[in-house]
Chains A and B, each alone.
Chain A
Amino acid sequence: MKAEETVVLASDLCKTYELGGAKVEVLKDVNLKVGKGGFTVISGPSGSGKTTLLNLIGGIDKPTSGKIVVFGDDLGVKDEDFLASFRCNKVGFVFQSYNLVSTLSVAENIAFPMEWARKPENYIKERVEKLLEIVGLQHRAEHFPFQLSGGEQQRVAFARALANDPPFLLVDEPTGNLDTKTSLKIIQILQRLKGDRKTVIVATHDERIIEFADQKLHLEDGKLVSLNE
C-alpha cells in the first residue's frame, strides 16, 4: 500500500479512562492501517473498545498515548477548531444510537452538516433529495425523528453521514439495534458504499457485514488483531 493511499495510521495507540478513581485501560498499543477505498470491519465483544477506537479515528476523542494519523494529520495534537472542521468535511460518523437532532426534521438533519460546510442553498436542497432517495426515505423528509422507526432513523443517520460526501466513513454497530429485515436495508447501503470505493470502518458483530470486509480486525481486551492472516 502506497503512503499517499493510507487514510488511517494508528501506532501504539492507548486510551485510558478514569472511573471513580480507578484507571481503566480500554485500548492497549493498538496499531492499525487503513488504505484508501478499503472496507474494514472491527469486531469484538461488548466493552472491548470498538467505539473508543472509532472515536479516536473520528477526532471525537484524543488518545492517552500513541499516534493517530488520519489523512496525514496527527489528530492527537490538533486544536478543537481543526477537529471540528475535520469532523464536518473529512469524515462521516454513524452512531450506534442514531443520535438524530430531535428538533430538526429528517431533511434538516441531513442538511445541517452541509450548512456548516457553507454549501449553497440549491446544492443542499438537491443533495438532500439525492440522499433521501439513496436511503429510500423521500416520503419521510418532513417528519421528525420521534415519528420514525429505529431502522428509518439509522438510514437518516447514514444519509447525514454522507451529506458532505466525505471520503471516509465510521459506522458504529449499524445493525445492533435493528431487526433482521431492517438490518438488510442497512447492509445494502454499506455494500453500496463499498462499491463506491469509499473508505469505511465498521464496528460490528454482524457476520453478514464481516463477510464482505476487505480487512477484518478483532478487538479484545484492548488489543487489536487481524483476522485476515
Chain B
Amino acid sequence: MNDLLRRKLQTSLIIVSLTLCVASTLFLLLFSEKIGFGISLMTESKLTTGFSTIFSRFIIFTGFLIFVVGAVIISFMVYVMMSQRVRDIGLMRATGCPNDLVFGYFLTELLVVTTIGCFLGVVLGIAADFASTSLFNSFGFQISQTPINFWLVLLVFGLFFAFALAFGAKPILDTTKVNPATALSPSYHFGVSKESGFKVTSKSGLTMKLALRSLFRHKSATTRIIICLVAVFLLATVGIAGGIIADQTTKSWIENAVGRDIVLIAHQDMCNQYKLLLSKFYETNDMPRIIYTDAKYSISEDILNLLSSMSSNISGIDPRLVLEMHVKEIVGYKINYTEVGDSREGDSLVIGVEPEKVLSNCSLDGEFLKENQPWEAVIGDSLALGMFTEPLNQSISLSGKAFEIVGVCLDPINNGNVTYVPLENLQTIMGVSEPNVVLAKINPSANRTAVLNYMRAQVKDLNSEFDVLDLNEVLDKNLSFLDYIWSTIMVLPAISLFSASLCLIAYAMLTITEQRQEFGVLRALGANPKTIIKIVSAQSLVVLLLSCAAGIAFGIMTTLLILVPEPIVTGFTVAEISAWLLTALVVTFIFSLYPAIRFARKPILEIMT
C-alpha cells in the first residue's frame, strides 16, 4: 500500500484506465441489451430488423474492439507499473529476500490496483447505463429501466480482473529473474536495450535524433504502446467514421422511405393510425384496432380533385389503400429445385400503391413494383427476416392469392412488418373501391405553411372528419432517435481515447524516467526546458502518428467493408470524419505532453538525482 501511495500519479493513472475500460465495456453491454439491438441480435419491437442488424453488427464489433483495447491498455499499464519497480525488486533480492516473497509483495500490489479498478469500473458502467436510459426517456423515448443483469456484470468484472492479473504477473516474474546486481545498476531499465541499433543522420536534427534513438532503445515498451494505440485508433475510427457513415446511411434510408415534405390526407383516425405505425420505429405503443375497410375512411374523388387542382404547389399524389391482413409464406424453389421456406404465417400491414405514383424511395434489395405486374409484392425487412427463408425466391399469400416477392425494403412503417402490392389488384381482392389515405408532396419552392393551411381548410370543407398530417414531424422524430442512438454509441470510443491518452502519458513517464539522467545532463550542458519537452513530444508524436496511420486505415477498411453495406459517403462526411479524427489525434497528443511539461520544470539537480 505504501508503495502504491508513494507513486500517486502512476497508481491513479492505472486505476483510472482500468476503471474506464471496465466501465465502457459494461455500459455497452447493458445499454445495448436494453435498447433492443444488443448482442443477441433480437429486436424488441423497436427498430426494423434491418436497422437492428446494422446496429447489432456495429455494437458487436465495437464491443469486441473495446474489450481488446481494454485488455491491451491494461497489459500496457500493468507492464509500465511493474517496470518501474524493477530497482525495488533488485534491492529486495540483493538484501536476501526470497523470490517467492518478492513475487508475493508485488502480486499483492497488483491485486489491490486491479480490484479497485475493476470495482470502480463496474460502478461507473452501471451508473452510465442508468444515466443514459434516464436521459433518453427524458427526451420522450421509451426505454425501460430493467434490473441489472448480474451475470453480465460478473462476467465483465471477472474477465478484466483475470486479464489484468495475467498481464501483470508476467513482468513481475521477468523482473524477479533479473540478477540483483543488474537490477540495481543505474544503467539498467526493464525492457530497455542498451544499444540504440538505429542511427539517424545528423541532418534530422538533434531533437529527432535523440527521440528516435530512444524509441528504438525501448523496443518492448514502444511496440506495446504502438499496438495499444493502433487498437484505440481502430476503435476510434470505427466509432467516429463508422458512426457518422452509419448514421447518415440509416438516416438517409429513413428519409427516403418516409419522404421529405410529404403530407398525409385521410380520416382523423387514419391519420393517428398512420402516425402510430410510423412511430413504432422508435417507441413501443398499443395500436388501436380499426377497420381499415370502413367506408368512412375512403378517400373521395373530391379530395383527389382538390389535390390535382393544387398542381403548382404539389409535385405528386400517391393514393394508398392501407390494410392489416393475415399473410402466409409460400414455399419457393431455387434453381436446383430445392424447396425454400416453411409455410409460416402471421399478420402484416398491407399497402396497395400505384407503382408509378409512389412518392417514397425505400432502400431496396431487389426491385420495386412495376406497372402491369399485378401479382408482384415488395415486403419490409422485418417481415422478410421474420417469416421468410429466401424472400426473393418466394411468394407471399394475401387472402389466398399468391404474390411473387420482387423486393425487400427498409421501411420504418409498422417497424418493417409491411407488404406493398399494386393498388388496383388489392382493391379487387378486397372488394374496396377507394383508397383510404393519400400522400402528397409539397413543392420545395412553395410556401409550406401557407400550402398546409390552405389544404387543411379545403379538406375540412369537403369533409370535417378528414385531416392533413405533416409527416415531416414524424420523420424528424425518427431521425432524432437515430441521432441519439449513434451519439450514445460514439461516446464509447471517446472513453477509449481518454484511456489511450492516459496510456500515452504512462509511456511518456516511462521514457522520461529512463532518460532522466540524460535529460539532466542535457539541461546542465545548455539545453533549456523547451528542448526536453521537444524531445519527449517528438517521441510521442512519432508513436502517435505511426499508430494513428495504421489504426485509421484498418478502421476505415472495417467500416466500409464490414460494418456499413452500401454506405452513403459525401464530401461533407469525409470532412466531418477527418475533423473528428484530427481532433482526437491532437487531444491525445496534448494529453501526452503533461509529464514532459511537469518534468521540464524541475530543477536540474533534482532531475539528475
Q: Which residues of A contact B (CB under 8 A)?
A: 55, 58, 60-61, 80-81, 84-85, 87-89, 93, 95, 99-105, 108, 111-113, 115-117, 121, 144, 146, 160
- Give Cα A146 to B390, complex, Å: 71
Q: Does B604 belong to the interface (CB within 8 Å)?
A: yes
Contact segment of B91-99, B205-213, B373-381, B430-438? B205-213
Indicate if the CB atoms of B526 and A113 lie closer than 8 Å: yes
Indicate if the CB atoms of B527 and A116 lie closer than 8 Å: yes
Indicate if the CB atoms of A101 and B528 lie closer than 8 Å: no
A166: min CB distance to chain B, Å: 10
- Give Cα A91 to B605, complex, Å: 17
- Give Cα A117 to B195, complex, Å: 28
- 6 of the cross-chain contacts (CB-CB < 8 Å) are A100-B521, A102-B194, A102-B518, A104-B213, A108-B209, A146-B187
Indicate if the CB atoms of B210 and A87 lie closer than 8 Å: no
- CB nearest to A84 among chain B residues: B528
B604: min CB distance to chain A, Å: 5
Indicate if the CB atoms of B526 and A87 lie closer than 8 Å: yes
- Give Cα A115 to B524, complex, Å: 15
Query: Total number of A-B contacts with CB less than 8 angstroms?
Result: 76
- CB nearest to B521 among chain A residues: A99
Indicate if the CB atoms of B213 and A85 lie closer than 8 Å: no
Known A108-B202, A108-B209: A101·B529 in contact at CB below 8 Å: no
Indicate if the CB atoms of B213 and A89 lie closer than 8 Å: no
- Give Cα A81 to B526, complex, Å: 9
List of B residues within 8 angstroms of A84 by Cβ? 523, 526-528
Residue in A101, A105, A115 whose beta carbon sits within 8 Å of that of B521 in the complex: A101
Indicate if the CB atoms of A88 and B214 lie closer than 8 Å: no
- CB nearest to B519 among chain A residues: A101
Residue in A61, A112, A144 whose beta carbon sits within 8 Å of that of B196 in the complex: A144
Indicate if the CB atoms of B196 and A103 lie closer than 8 Å: yes
Indicate if the CB atoms of A104 and B195 lie closer than 8 Å: no
A80: min CB distance to chain B, Å: 6
List of B residues within 8 angstroms of A87 by Cβ? 524-526
Indicate if the CB atoms of B202 and A111 lie closer than 8 Å: yes
- Give Cα A78 to B605, complex, Å: 17
- Give Cα A159 to B246, complex, Å: 63
Indicate if the CB atoms of A101 and B526 lie closer than 8 Å: no
Residue in B195, B517, B526 whose beta carbon sits within 8 Å of that of A99 in the complex: B517
List of A residues within 8 angstroms of B528 by Cβ? 80-81, 84
Q: Does B217 belong to the interface (CB within 8 Å)?
A: yes
Indicate if the CB atoms of A89 and B209 lie closer than 8 Å: no
Q: Does B522 belong to the interface (CB within 8 Å)?
A: yes
- Give Cα A88 to B202, complex, Å: 19
For chain B, which range describes its interface: under 10, 10 to 19, 20 to 34, or 35 or more residues?
A: 20 to 34
Residue in A88, A95, A100 whose beta carbon sits within 8 Å of that of B526 in the complex: A88
- Give Cα A89 to B202, complex, Å: 21
Give me the 6 closest cross-chain CB pairs, A-B, nearest first.
Answer: A88-B526, A103-B213, A84-B528, A99-B521, A87-B526, A60-B604
- CB nearest to A105 among chain B residues: B199
Residue in A61, A105, A111 whose beta carbon sits within 8 Å of that of B605 in the complex: A61
Q: Does B603 belong to the interface (CB within 8 Å)?
A: yes
- CB nearest to A98 among chain B residues: B521
List of A residues within 8 angstroms of B522 by Cβ? 101, 112
B302: min CB distance to chain A, Å: 88
- Give Cα A73 to B375, complex, Å: 100
List of A residues within 8 angstroms of B199 by Cβ? 105
- Give Cα A105 to B521, complex, Å: 15
A91: min CB distance to chain B, Å: 9
- Give Cα A100 to B524, complex, Å: 12
Q: Which of B426-454 contact A (CB under 8 A)?
A: none
Known A108-B209, A115-B206: A85·B526 in contact at CB below 8 Å: yes
Indicate if the CB atoms of A103 and B217 lie closer than 8 Å: yes
- Give Cα A58 to B526, complex, Å: 10
- CB nearest to B518 among chain A residues: A101
- CB nearest to A85 among chain B residues: B526
Residue in A61, A102, A105, A160 whose beta carbon sits within 8 Å of that of B525 in the complex: A160
Indicate if the CB atoms of B526 and A146 lie closer than 8 Å: no
Indicate if the CB atoms of B521 and A146 lie closer than 8 Å: no
- CB nearest to B600 among chain A residues: A80
A167: min CB distance to chain B, Å: 15
List of B residues within 8 angstroms of A102 by Cβ? 187, 194, 196, 217, 518
- Give Cα A166 to B518, complex, Å: 22
- Give Cα A89 to B528, complex, Å: 13
Which of A101, A115, A144 is most buried by chain B, counting CB atoms within 10 A of its CB? A101
- Give Cα A160 to B604, complex, Å: 19
List of A residues within 8 angstroms of B529 by Cβ? 80
- Give Cα A61 to B606, complex, Å: 10
- Give Cα A160 to B520, complex, Å: 15
Which of A60, A87, A93, A103 is most buried by chain B, counting CB atoms within 10 A of its CB? A103
Residue in B214, B521, B526 whose beta carbon sits within 8 Å of that of A89 in the complex: B526
Indicate if the CB atoms of B521 and A61 lie closer than 8 Å: no
- CB nearest to B604 among chain A residues: A60
Instruction: Give 6 A-B pairs besides A95-B524, A102-B518 with Cβ atoms closer than 8 angstroms.
Output: A87-B524, A95-B521, A102-B194, A104-B213, A113-B526, A160-B525
List of A residues within 8 angstroms of B608 by Cβ? 99
Indicate if the CB atoms of A104 and B526 lie closer than 8 Å: no
A143: min CB distance to chain B, Å: 11
- Give Cα A105 to B199, complex, Å: 9
Indicate if the CB atoms of B210 and A61 lie closer than 8 Å: no
List of B residues within 8 angstroms of A105 by Cβ? 199
- Give Cα A80 to B604, complex, Å: 10
Residue in A93, A116, A121 whose beta carbon sits within 8 Å of that of B524 in the complex: A93
Residue in A60, A85, A111, A144 whose beta carbon sits within 8 Å of that of B195 in the complex: A144
Indicate if the CB atoms of B194 and A61 lie closer than 8 Å: no
Indicate if the CB atoms of B518 and A60 lie closer than 8 Å: no
- Give Cα A92 to B67, complex, Å: 54
B359: min CB distance to chain A, Å: 70
Q: Which of B29-53 contact A (CB under 8 A)?
A: none
- Give Cα A136 to B321, complex, Å: 101
- Give Cα A33 to B506, complex, Å: 47
- Give Cα A113 to B206, complex, Å: 10
- Give Cα A112 to B205, complex, Å: 10
Q: Which of B501-545 contact A (CB under 8 A)?
A: 517-518, 520-529, 531
A48: min CB distance to chain B, Å: 17
- Give Cα A80 to B600, complex, Å: 11
List of B residues within 8 angstroms of A99 by Cβ? 517-518, 520-521, 524, 608
Known A103-B213, A103-B214: A61·B202 in contact at CB below 8 Å: no
B193: min CB distance to chain A, Å: 10
List of A residues within 8 angstroms of B209 by Cβ? 103-104, 108
- Give Cα A160 to B522, complex, Å: 12
Indicate if the CB atoms of B525 and A146 lie closer than 8 Å: no
